[in-house]
Structure 1
Amino acid sequence: MGCIKRTVNEILQERYHCNLFVVSLSVADLVVAIYPYPLILSAIFHNDWTMGDIHCQISGFLMGLSVIGSIFNITAIAINRYCYICHSLWYDKLFNLKNTYCYLCLTWLLTLVAIVPNFFVGSLQYDRRIYSCTFTQTVNMSYTIAVVAIHFIIPLTIVTFCYLRIWILVIQVKHRVRQDCNQRLRSEDIRNFLTMFVVFVLFAVCWGPLNLIGLAVSINPSKIVPWIPEWLFVVSYFMAYFNSCLNAVIYGLLNQNFRNEYKRILMALRTPRLLFVDWSKGGTEGAKSKPSLAVTNNNNNQAEIDL
């Protein structure tokens, strides 16, 4: 690995590209909160599904879109971090703005491709145990194995490889094992990496039990299904549902910028007029404090960081 110097503009550009994937992951988490979760609450209240088959299919589709979209976005973030930290010389070519948008489109296209077969298999059905329309593991054993492999095992393998290589590099740099260049990792890079690593670990923990149950059921349903207690199935499902709520908590705990924004939003909810005051200040102060081009170029030349 070679050495490369990055200016402030390049660092901000890299941060923007990474944030696009984080926003995409947030969208995936929000999908279930907007439509499926309210219907689940209604089913719990009525102790049955009362919204009809069309809403059941839409709810199950959006649930799958959120789940698979989340893991595919987590995989894309891991690949992005791996390229940025372990292969910095290639990063600018691989993740320029145009390529980043293409990767995002590809991520959601693959998500749709993974979800659409549910309509042909007929696996989106209402499950009274969890009060929701979701993927039914016992409808088609071959398809269940494919779903577990594509949705969990393959992404888990890719993300594990990426983060393992990053950990190895971090340890090498920390203990000055690498002698080929004076490589340094910024503390901000490490914090961002740790945040996304925790997101990945919690996803694996929350979705692991349900996927293991699905894999066991698909291998030998006649023997495995009677041995799985209903409470274990319900707990595993609601663990998976709960994962969509965790990412915002993780960002708030591990990222100072998110904590500051959360505080500002909470203060605005208590006193809404403060929100408009902040907006007006941001507009006027931003115009007053905008640096000149000469100053910006001078800072860019002085603020180079060795990687």
Structure 2
Amino acid sequence: MSIKWYFRNLKNVEGNIFVVSLSVADLVVAVYPYPLILSAIFHNGWTMGNVHCQISGFLMGLSVIGSIFNITAIAINRYCYICHSLRYDKLFNLKNTCCYLCLTWVLTVVAIVPNFFVGSLQYDPRIYSCTFAQTVSTSYTITVVVVHFIVPLSVVTFCYLRIWILVIQVKHRVRQDCKQKLRAADIRNFLTMFVVFVLFAVCWGPLNFIGLAVSINPSKVQPHIPEWLFVLSYFMAYFNSCLNAVIYGLLNQNFRKEYKRILLTLWTPRLLFIDVSKGGTEGMKSKHSPAITTNNNHAEIHL
């Protein structure tokens, strides 16, 4: 692998940190809450006690709010990377990016903690899970929907709208004096994360708007919401956690290659041993000819 290729692919490594963080947020629900939901479905009720219910609800909230906050951070990162590329290196160096990432997760935890004081993490038999109860406090539910959903989505919408405007201007050569250079890889990455944002909004929008409507006028709105609509909105939200991996596989060529390799390895396990043996052979060859490797690397650096 050439050094030139290596650095070209790691050009926006700071932005990719947030993508990894988003993946972690998606995986949180699969580790603990989802197995307990399956257990509740099989037993037709919650049998794990209140402690597990609170932990499950906390991790569910950690995943949801962590996802939307990371999507917001990704949108801001892409906005700075494409629309303010001259200042990007100062804003998103590795140290600052790690601080932004820590801040994202600290805000996520801070956003969930009030649920324990309000008592809004409860078991809902309609969806077999311990989750945020929208009817516990009207004012708190409105605050949750606004702060955890509407405000982040407004920020993301602004960022992606500005990116779309710049892309259209550059494409039609409206801004010929523009110093920003848009690479095809940047546009593909932007489109991938834009689709992630749209699907998140579509999957979580119904549940949040139902909660907002119920909170504004509980006595009139709640009796008119059919149970099947409430359950459907919840399972749409749950389904979002597994969509991102599918999006990456469909829209990113590198992910498609790795998915194919993993599937082929699972189908024919002997390919795994072949890859390992090839890696070992190549490693031995590179050790026997250090001079050649060094020369090749210098040739790539000076290209």
Distance in 1 between residues matched to 2:14 and 2:83, nearest whole Å: 17
Relative to structure 1, the CA distance from residue 173 to residue 264 in structure 2 (aligned partners, 3 Å threshold; closer, same or farther) is same
Identity of aligned residues (%): 80
CA distance in 1, matches of 2:272, 2:118: 49
What do residues 103-149 of structure 1 show as CA deviations (whole Å, max 9, x unaligned)? 11111000000011111110000000000000000001111111101
1:200 to 183, 197, 201: 197
Greater RCO (Cα-Cα under 8 Å, separation 6 or more): 1
Give how far 1:10 is off: 6.4
Q: Does 1:15 align with 2:19?
A: no
Q: AA paired with 2:113?
A: V
Counterpart for residue 289 of structure 2 = none
Q: 1:190 to 1:92 in 2, by over 3 A?
A: same
CA distance in 2, matches of 1:184, 1:206: 34
Kept in 2, the 8 Å contact 1:138–1:217? The answer is: yes
Alignment: residue pair count? 293
1:186 alignment counterpart: 183
CA 1:35/1:228 → structure 2, altered by over 3 Å: closer, same or farther?
Answer: same
Q: Secondary structure at the match of 1:118?
A: helix
Name 1:130's counterpart in structure 2. Answer: 127
Deviation (angstroms), 1:42: 0.8
Cα separation, 2, equivalents of 1:285 and 1:145:
60
Q: Please tell me whether the aligned partners of residues 173 and 183 of structure 1 are also in contact (alpha carbons under 8 angstroms).
A: no
Work out the CA distance in 2 between the residues paired with 1:242 and 1:225: 24
1:89 counterpart = 2:86: yes
Task: Report deviation, 1:87.
Answer: 0.1
What is the rounded CA distance, in whole Å, between the counterparts of 1:100 and 1:14 in structure 2? 14
- In 2, the alpha carbon distance for the partners of 1:13 and 1:93 equals 17
Which residue does the alignment assign to 1:303? none
Q: 1:62 — aligned with what?
A: 59
Which residue number corresponds to residue 268 of structure 2? 271
Q: Distance in 1 between matches of 2:49 and 2:68?
A: 29
Change (3 A) 1:283 1:86: farther
Q: Deviations over 1:233-266 (max 9, x none)?
A: 0000000000001000000000011011111111
- What's 2:165 paired with? 168
In 2 relative to 1, CA 285–76 (structure 1 residues): closer, same or farther, beyond 3 Å? farther
Q: Do the aligned partners of 2:82 and 2:180 also contact (CA within 8 Å) in 1?
A: no
Residue 248 (structure 1) aligned to one of 240, 245, 249:
245
Contact kept, 8 Å, 2:85 with 2:180, in 1: the verdict is no
Question: Structure 2: which amino acid aligns with 1:158?
Answer: V
Selected match of 2:302 from 280, 283, 298: 298
Of residues 49, 52, 68, the one that matches 2:49 is 52
Q: Provide the residue aligned with 1:73 in structure 2.
A: 70
Q: Are 1:142 and 2:146 matched, yes or no?
A: no
Compared CA separation, residues 282 and 193, structure 1 to 2 (3 A): farther
Deviations 1:205-243 (A, max 9, x none): 000000000111111111111111100000000000000
> Structure 1: which 5+ runs fail to align?
1-6, 300-307
The answer to whether 1:24 aligns with 2:21 is yes
TM-score, length-scaled by structure 1: 0.91
Counterpart AA for 1:277: I
Give distance in 2, aligned partners of 1:279 and 1:72: 39
SS in 2 for 1:159: helix
- Aligned partner letter, 2:299: V
Call closer, same or farther: CA 1:297–1:269 in 2, change over 3 Å.
same
Distance 1:45 1:87, change over 3 A: same
Amino acid at match of 1:201: V
Tell me which amino acid in the other structure corresponds to 1:195.
T
Q: CA deviation at 1:20?
A: 1.0
Q: How many Å separate the matches in 2 of 1:189 and 1:222?
A: 49
Q: Give unpaired runs (5+ residues) of structure 2.
A: 287-291
Per-residue deviation, 1:70: 0.4
Which of 102, 105, 114 in structure 1 is aligned with 2:102? 105
